[in-house]
A = this chain, B = another copy of it.
């Protein structure tokens, strides 16, 4: 990190901030010759480039003035209407535009929610492991995160209950839970139906805010769609965060947050002083894309596309990985999480892999308690079959070497 003559003037949160190690890993392995299973970016092969070009050309011709002007802080009203209608079909029957704010990705949704709810020293419970966006947003407000294990059925409610009790006994205020219910990053696991109910009960009992980060929900390959925590929310305490990055395109940075109109209004106020408004052309393009019925088609195509990729990667893992490594079979999303024997170090495996021009992401940076040294994450989202096979074979061989003490 470069030196700065102003270091002594930094805020508390800046002095304690941890840049994302995962981003650093992805930057490190961005050399063109590397076969990378590291990044969780969508495959540009599925970007609806032609449709976007057609829509943009049309919109710029007909209403360029509006398209390039500032928009309102909460986002385009027609787009909020259309998104609210989609939320209604998900069991949120009274969803309305006032329940919605359009954000620059779900990342901004989480950031604004943290601004609205988190005070310094507030504790938020997160999964062990979890995507770093939630903890990062909490830390940026001076809050603390505490981890609770994620098992094959998601965040474990018994451990959650114990942890809340332990924290309360220690005199700490638990403010909320950050949860990625579907095909979680990095584990790929989905929070079970019964657990969703239990977590909502606990949230009511302990007066918690639920930050429900759900960027992958639309990418379910098989099995039944489970109701969101938001749809089970009788007391208005869930902030539900969505992204268009995995179903439309990531570069336009679009997402939305959905919740009680009061909390959403506070997020709008926070956004006024955060970036004033969301990119206008991106919102108009998406609105038109939805109106033309293209988003639902795009989602169906993406499901087919990423399901085939998942199947291919799982087949290669079955073929090339030794039985000492274990992993899950995700029902959607982008990720497979691998556990090595306890005494094996995924960091060392990573170094060896990079030497062979193969990359993945180690698991440890996803564990807020620093555990997980024997785990790593594979992403099938961005890589083609040939590279995927070669990379999985190489990683398999490196694990076997390691087991043999080579």
Taking Cβ atoms with an 8 Å cutoff, the residues of A that contact B are 1-7, 9-14, 17, 19-20, 23, 27, 41-42, 44, 47, 49, 52-53, 56-57, 60-61, 64-73, 98, 103-105, 107-108, 111, 115-120, 133, 136-137, 139-141, 175, 207, 209, 235-237, 245, 249-253, 260-263, 265-266, 268-270, 272-282
Contacts and interface: CB of A to CB of B under 8 A. Distances in A.
A67 B116 CA distance: 33
Contacts of A103: 275
A276 to B, nearest CB: 4
B275 A108 contact: yes
Contacts of A49: 60, 64-65, 68
Contacts of A105: 275-277
A245 B279 CA distance: 12
Contacts of A44: 64-66, 68-69
A141 B235 CA distance: 28
This protein's copies in its complex: 2
A117 B9 contact: yes
Given A11-B115, A262-B3, A281-B251, A272 B41 contact: no
A253 B73 CA distance: 12
Given A6-B117, A6-B237, 7 more contacts: A4-B260, A6-B209, A14-B266, A44-B65, A57-B57, A133-B276, A279-B279
A277 B78 CA distance: 25
Contacts of A56: 53, 56-57, 60
Contacts of A11: 115-119, 141
Nearest to A40: B70
Contacts of A235: 5
Contacts of A137: 273-274
